């Protein structure tokens, strides 16, 4: 047994599922499709569930399994499924807990492709999403009926940087026997212990922070073990055989296996390393965010800064309560016009123009003309996407260099 330790110590010391024959200190990449058995009887026992072993890497493999074990330990959760991307985590989860004719309630400020998944893809299979700004309990409760299965939200919306009232959402979910699902991509597990705020399932794009800095695509589904699966008719049939692991079993033995969204072993290797260095990267990005936030807030040409780590931000109190004061390391800020934003972006020499988040490099984008380009003006207005706004994902560069870059680009 390891003593109780801090996040990084824990990350570095999660034991392998099986002892490595060579005592490798780094989990090897098992880049194999299939695994062999000693006898026909052993294969039979495996298929009956009596002899647990890796069989075929679309279902499970040692390197991916180790990534899952590590994330499970770090999130102090019941179980984790690693998948090929954040979108795979979201789609697998929703497919596992719903069926045609049912509905979920979701925040209306969502990652663009999540919105498209709910509005287009899943709608075409008969799942309805009822959107809400998730601010008013009565309005949310008015959307709930006997076919509602979950409330879905993002811990910090992007690029608006709004933090919902997670305790209120958790209370409503419990009262109506609904799952509470959080996309916690922006707030990684070293700052957000989702299970202790009533979140039942976390979906994470590990492509972002956990990959170690834009190294690879990945996703994770984290089950906090705090939901009674008898309350969900689509999962309850798995309880008899799998008990508390009913959801994980349904995903692994049905949805994920049958739709083929597995994480590749080489990717898992990057993601394992990413967890090892997650805490120190977040800390550096956060320090940079605070310095940039203060600099931008004091600059005459900057009209508005949103970062809930800053004391005067509307989300500051919730950031302290939920995320230990570290509400991710994405910020947005406004200049006087769209033209001013473009001029500024084009003058940057260190900060890169790109659409990703939580790379080691600082990345900037103008959401109105890119991520939200396919939306109508009305939809952008509802989502509070201003054409004067830019989103900055803050990296690990030296802060003085980032400030100088911004300063010269604002001139
Ligand atoms: C990037 C992102 C996703 C999708 O993740 P992919 O790994 O790109 O599929 C989902 N939610 C949020 C909040 C994201 O930032």
pLDDT over 80 (residue 108): yes
Residue 127 lies inside a defined structural domain of this protein: yes
Q: Which of 248, 275, 302 is the last residue of a domain?
A: 275
For 223-259, the pLDDT digits (tens) are 999 999 999 999 999 999 999 999 999 999 999 999 9
Do 222 and 260 reside in the same domain of the chain?
Answer: yes
Read off the CATH number of the domain in which 319 is found. Answer: 3.90.1150.10
Top mutation candidate among 161, 187, 207 for ligand 1, by most atoms within 8 Å of CB: 207
Do 270 and 294 reside in the same domain of the chain?
Answer: no
| 240 CA → ligand 1 middle, Å | 33
Higher pLDDT, 3 or 154: 154
Other CB atoms within 10 Å distance of the CB of residue 282: 22
Do 269 and 284 reside in the same domain of the chain?
Answer: no
For 193-203, the pLDDT digits (tens) are 999 999 999 99
Q: Is 157's C-beta closer than 6 angstroms to any atom of ligand 1?
A: no
Q: Which of 252, 275, 298 is the last residue of a domain?
A: 275
Q: Round to the nearest angstrom and report the end-to-end CA distance of the chain.
A: 57
pLDDT over 80 (residue 327): yes
| 411 CA → ligand 1 middle, Å | 34
Do 269 and 334 reside in the same domain of the chain?
Answer: no
**In the block, which residue shows the tokens 């109780």?**
4
Q: Is 86's C-beta closer than 6 angstroms to any atom of ligand 1?
A: yes
Over residues 313-326, mean pLDDT: 98
Residue 264 lies inside a defined structural domain of this protein: yes
For 116-163, the pLDDT digits (tens) are 999 999 999 999 999 999 999 999 999 999 999 999 999 999 999 999
pLDDT over 80 (residue 3): no
For 371-396, the pLDDT digits (tens) are 999 889 998 998 899 999 999 999 99
- CA dist 86 and 89 (Å) reads 5
pLDDT classification of 360: cutoffs 50, 70, 90: very high
Structural domain of 142: 7-30+61-275
Top mutation candidate among 186, 192, 204, 208 for ligand 1, by most atoms within 8 Å of CB: 208
Per-residue model confidence (pLDDT) at position 1: 58
- Residues 198/174, Cβ–Cβ less than 8 Å: yes
Over residues 322-345, mean pLDDT: 98
Work out which ligand 1 atom sits closest to the CA atom of 88. 9
Do 130 and 254 reside in the same domain of the chain?
Answer: yes
For 268-315, the pLDDT digits (tens) are 999 999 999 999 999 999 999 999 999 999 999 999 999 999 999 999
Over residues 344-369, mean pLDDT: 97
Per-residue model confidence (pLDDT) at position 283: 97
pTM: 0.97
| 85 CA → ligand 1 middle, Å | 7
pLDDT over 90 (residue 2): no
Top mutation candidate among 83, 84, 87 for ligand 1, by most atoms within 8 Å of CB: 87
Phi-psi domain of 73 (left: phi exceeds 0; alpha: psi -120 through 50; beta: other): alpha
Q: Is 188's C-beta closer than 6 angstroms to any atom of ligand 1?
A: no
pLDDT classification of 81: cutoffs 50, 70, 90: very high
Do 309 and 328 reside in the same domain of the chain?
Answer: yes
Residue nearest to atom 4 of ligand 1 (CA): 86
Do 258 and 293 reside in the same domain of the chain?
Answer: no
Do 289 and 310 reside in the same domain of the chain?
Answer: yes
Do 229 and 360 reside in the same domain of the chain?
Answer: no
The candidate with the shortest Cα–Cα distance to 105, out of 158, 148, 146, 168, is: 148
- Residues 350/394, Cβ–Cβ less than 8 Å: no
Do 270 and 289 reside in the same domain of the chain?
Answer: no
- Residues 307/293, Cβ–Cβ less than 8 Å: yes
The rounded mean pLDDT for the chain is 96
- CA dist 159 and 385 (Å) reads 8
Do 135 and 242 reside in the same domain of the chain?
Answer: yes
Q: Which of 275, 308, 334 is the last residue of a domain?
A: 275
Do 263 and 337 reside in the same domain of the chain?
Answer: no
Q: Is 153's C-beta closer than 6 angstroms to any atom of ligand 1?
A: no
Q: Is 205's C-beta closer than 6 angstroms to any atom of ligand 1?
A: yes
pLDDT over 80 (residue 29): yes
Q: Look at the chain and report how many structural domains it folds into.
A: 2
| 89 CA → ligand 1 middle, Å | 9
């Amino acid at each position: 047994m390891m003593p109780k330790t801090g996040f990084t110590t824990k990350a570095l010391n999660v034991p392998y599922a099986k002892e490595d024959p060579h005592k490798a200190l780094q989990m090897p990449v098992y880049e194999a499709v299939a695994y062999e058995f000693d006898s026909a009887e052993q294969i039979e026992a495996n298929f009956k569930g009596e002899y647990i072993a890796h069989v075929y890497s679309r279902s499970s493999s040692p390197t991916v399994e180790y990534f899952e074990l590590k994330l499970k330990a770090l999130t102090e959760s019941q179980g984790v499924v690693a998948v090929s991307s954040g979108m795979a985590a979201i789609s697998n989860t929703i497919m596992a807990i719903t069926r045609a004719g049912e509905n979920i309630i979701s925040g209306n400020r969502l990652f663009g492709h999540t919105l498209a998944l709910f509005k287009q893809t899943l709608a075409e299979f008969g799942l309805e999403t009822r959107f809400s700004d998730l601010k008013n309990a009565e309005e949310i409760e008015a959307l709930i009926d006997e076919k509602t299965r979950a409330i879905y939200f993002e811990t910090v919306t992007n690029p608006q940087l709004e933090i919902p009232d997670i305790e209120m959402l958790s209370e409503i979910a419990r009262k109506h026997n609904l799952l509470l699902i959080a996309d916690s991509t922006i707030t990684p597990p070293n700052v957000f212990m989702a299970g202790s705020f009533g979140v039942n399932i976390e979906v994470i794009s590990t492509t972002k922070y956990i990959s170690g800095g834009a190294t690879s695509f990945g996703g994770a589904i984290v089950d906090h073990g705090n939901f009674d699966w008898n309350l969900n008719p689509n999962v309850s049939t798995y309880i008899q055989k799998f008990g508390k692991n009913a959801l994980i079993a349904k995903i692994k033995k049905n949805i994920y296996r049958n739709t083929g969204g597995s994480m590749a072993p080489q990717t898992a290797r990057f993601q394992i390393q990413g967890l090892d260095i997650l805490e120190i990267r977040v800390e550096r990005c956060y320090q940079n965010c605070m310095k940039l936030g203060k600099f931008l807030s004091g600059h005459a040409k900057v009209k508005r800064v949103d970062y809930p780590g800053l004391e005067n931000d509307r989300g500051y109190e919730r950031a302290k309560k939920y995320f230990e004061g570290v509400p991710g390391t994405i910020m947005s800020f406004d200049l006087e016009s769209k033209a001013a934003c473009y001029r500024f972006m084009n003058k940057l020499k260190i900060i890169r123009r790109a659409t990703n988040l939580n790379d080691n490099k600082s990345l900037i984008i103008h959401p109105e003309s890119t991520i939200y380009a396919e939306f109508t003006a009305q939809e952008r207005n509802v989502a509070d996407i201003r054409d004067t706004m830019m989103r900055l994902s803050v990296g690990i560069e030296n802060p003085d260099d980032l400030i100088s870059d911004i300063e010269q680009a604002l001139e």
